[in-house]
Amino acid sequence: MAEEIRILLAHADQIDPAQAEDYIKVGGYKGLEKARGMTSKDLIEEVKKSGLRGRGGAGFNAGMKWSFVPPAEVKYVVCNLDEGEPGTYKDRIICEKNAQALIEGMAICGVAINAKQGYIYCRGEYPFVVDLLRKAIQSAKDVGALGDFDIEVRMGAGAYVCGEETALIESIEGHRGEPRFKPPFPGVAGLWGVPTVVNNVETFACLPYILTNGADWFASIGAPKYPGTKVLTLTGDVNNPTYFEVPTNYILNDVIYKLGGGIKNGRKFKAVQVGGTSGAFIPEQNLNTPIDFDSMSAIGAALGSGAVLVMDETRDIVDIVTRISKFFEHESCGKCNPCREGTFRCREIMEKINSGRATEADIDNLLLLARVMKRAALCGLGQAAPVPITSTIEHFGHEYRRKLLQYA
């Protein structure tokens, strides 16, 4: 297997993403039309049947998530376009190539939960995407595609933590971007205290194709338990760093060596980090793992945002992880102790190891700290921040130990 399967990006660079007329010419808004002819229950069941799971990180069944939304006079649909993971830009690509699919997907969700208002929360570093989306929404309104469903674009201010759904909601409301305690979950009490569905760009963009072609069609693509395609962004020490859309049963080895063209300058592979900065470092012996959510989980990794960062034999793993620990210390919102103090101590110990001033006891303390953060941190930032540390100690422990004080 070495070929892409393009669904979301099938018409990339062939149509103007801002123009609803172009999108309609290639079959756009047929899924929304079909959704309007279904009951809410049947529509949600169709999405459940497709097996579509969240493409942002949690991997939860999208239809199941919608089914938890209780009856209410006002409900909201929110799209997470914060995309703050370094090296990740797949949601931006989807917007730049197929913005109308995102808009149609949000409207389909609106039909499913009986919501009339949607919000797209866009990363602060994407002002050009905000302009594109506003034009695309207006174009969809002009041709009457959205009916009584409206979408507003809000821009973030660059906070990594606002990729967490409740921190994002806080930011839309005009508050400081900090995660909320859960429960209640956003599906019950979200934006302005009312039921709110939050999904990311890629999840919403899949919906028009599911409704148009049928749940069985979508379920037949890729991995049985995580069907469909996944847009990956490939960066690092590869000959062809770019983006791809592949079926979810695609293996990492083919991503790197077939689509990515292999390691640059004829060097040897050392590690790949999948899912963004908070992802695990994967060694060579695990490269035959499919990229789907469950297969990645089985090796202690996560598909997450779909970012794939490749490192060659010259890279200093401990130095890279030290830099990552600084990033998480900086991005912690500070609301909960395990993350605020944990990211600070992780960075402190990593710098000590990287500079050759640490002992084996420091590695033991680092692993203990990581266990506490994973169990006690309020949100995914604090829970995932130690993953690069623990995965590299597991697979590249020799690189840590050769920097310890007694071996320096």
Q: State pLDDT tens for residues 157-173.
A: 989 999 999 999 999 99
What gap in Å lies between CA 98 and CA 120, rounded to an integer? Answer: 15
Summarize pLDDT for 121-159 with one digit per residue, the tens.
999 999 999 999 999 999 999 999 999 999 999 999 989
> Helix count (H) and strand count (E) of the chain?
16, 11
**303 near 291, Cβ under 8 Å?**
yes
What gap in Å lies between CA 56 and CA 81, rounded to an integer? Answer: 10
Mean pLDDT of the chain: 96
pLDDT band (50, 70, 90) for residue 406: low
pLDDT score for 58: 79
Q: What angle do CA 272, 276, 277 make, to 5 degrees?
A: 90
Domain ranges of the chain: 20-220, 226-312, 317-407
Least confident segment among 1-10, 68-77, 110-119, 179-188: 1-10
Report which secondary-structure segment, H or E, holds 400: helix 387-401
Q: What angle do CA 254, 256, 262 make, to 5 degrees?
A: 110
Placement of tokens 């540390």 in the chain: 389
Summarize pLDDT for 70-102 with one digit per residue, the tens.
999 999 999 999 998 888 999 999 999 999 999
Tell me the fold of 20-220: Rossmann fold (3.40.50)
Summarize pLDDT for 292-306 with one digit per residue, the tens.
999 999 999 999 989
Per CATH, the architecture of 317-407 is what?
Up-down Bundle (1.20)
pLDDT score for 407: 57
For residue 153, list its beta bridge partners: 120
pLDDT band (50, 70, 90) for residue 1: very low
Summarize pLDDT for 319-336 with one digit per residue, the tens.
999 999 999 999 999 999
Segment 336-345 mean pLDDT: 97
Task: Report the CATH number of the 226-312 domain.
Answer: 3.10.20.600
Summarize pLDDT for 359-380 with one digit per residue, the tens.
999 999 999 999 999 999 999 9
